[in-house]
Amino acid sequence: MSTSEHGLVFENRKSYLNSVYPLVKLAWVFVVAIGLFIYRSPISGAVMFLTILLVAMIAGKIPFQQILGSGKIIFGLGLLLMFFHFFVDPGNVVFKLGPLHITDNGLLQGPIFFFRLSVVVLASFILIWTTDTRDLMVSLTKAGVPYRGAFAVFLAMRFLPLIQKEVDAVKAAHSIRGKPTNSKFGHRFKLWRRYIFTILINGLRKAETTATSLECRAFGCFPTRTYVKDVHYKPLDLILLLVTILISGGLIVAERVL
């Protein structure tokens, strides 16, 4: 089984987003995130959510199934966060559910937080899906980041799908061990604790081996290094950034004018 069937892996689909200079995409994620923290209305968040979804599917050629598959945990967490705000935010009570009170402010803030979380994570996923992490490292180096630091970002992103693969393997292995307690929650908690332990231990071992291997392959010996493959910025890459700034700016203005 290859890892590429897992969600968070770069794939060159020969899309517009694949060709955009990595630093521009990184800047784009920041622009999207900043906009979301300025919006006051959930409608702006929803518009941006749809925009990012369309960007992923059209400009990135990423299948909707993949977006849903990788994002379901985050979207689920976003929904939990939304419901949490419904009940805990102070404001005028508009609905009562036993001892729980839903407030008008909660109904407004809940979706805002849902979209903040979902859109920022989705934009980050798009960056991962469409960017060869090696190219991101090279472009960061070109922007003046010391290559050892840039490589740390690269390694972190490189290990993501491997960690996901490890989680799947551990989950599968644990599921056939059965459970000795009737407490479903207690068992699940124990399993999660063990997933984290196993992945942490194996992660540390891998990190140690990789670090040794890097040293043995002369990584960091010189202040610079050769790059066999180079990446180049093109003015066309800026379209993504400019269109997003226009939409985000438009939404901020519209919130204040309308």
Partner 1 sequence: MVIESSEPFIKIKNVFYTHWNQETPTLKDLSLEIQPNTINVLVGPGGSGKSTLCSLFNGEIPHLLGGKLEGTVFVGGQNTNDLAVKNISQLVGHMLQDPESMFATLYVEDEIAFGPENLLIDAQEIKTSVNSLLELIQLQPQRNNLVWNLSGGQIQKLGLAVILAMHPKMVVLDEPTANLDPSATRSVHELILELRNQGMTILLVTRELDDFILSAADQLLVLDEGKIIANGNVQQVLKEFGSEMLTRLGIWLPETVEIGIALRDRFKVNLDRIPITVQETLHVLNQENLLRINLKLEQERSANRTLLPLSNPLISARNLEFTYNNGFKALNDVSFDIFPGEMLAIVGRNGAGKSTLAKLMVGLLKPQIGNLSLFDKPAAKWKVESLSEKIALVFQNPEHQFLTDTAFDEIAYSLLSRGVDDPNEVRKQVEDWMTRLDLLDFQKIHPFALSAGKKRRLGVATMLVCNPVVLLVDEPTYGQDKEMTQNLMALMESIRKLGVTVVMITHDMRLVQEYASRVLVMADGKILYEGEPSNLFCSEELLESANLRPTLLQELLKQYEDEGGCVCCSISTTDDFLNALEYSLASEDQYVN
Q: CB neighbours (10 Å) of residue 126?
A: 23
177 binds partner 1 (CB under 8 A): yes
Picking from 35, 62, 59, 41, the residue whose alpha carbon sits closest to that of residue 247 is 35
Residue 125 host element (H or E): helix 104-130
* For partner 1, the closer CB: 49 or 135: 135
Strand partners, 16: none
183 binds partner 1 (CB under 8 A): no
Please select the residue that binds partner 1; options are 229, 235, 256, 258, rule is CB under 8 A.
229
CA distance 129 to 123: 10
Scan residues 86-145 and list those touching partner 1 (CB under 8 A): 132-134
Nearest approach, Cβ of residue 52 and partner 1 (Å): 23
Tell me whether residue 231 is exposed, middle or buried, using C-beta atoms within 10 angstroms of its C-beta: 0 to 12, 13 to 18, 19 or more: middle
Please select the residue that binds partner 1; options are 8, 107, 145, 162, rule is CB under 8 A.
162
Contact region with partner 1 (CB under 8 A), list: 52-60, 115-123, 178-186, 250-258: 178-186
* For partner 1, the closer CB: 176 or 258: 176
**Cα-based distances in Å from 97 to 24, 101, 132, 205:** 47, 6, 49, 50
What residues line the site for partner 1 (CB under 8 A)? 1-5, 9-10, 132-134, 155, 158, 161-162, 165, 169-170, 172-180, 190-191, 194, 198, 201-202, 205-206, 209-210, 212-222, 224-229
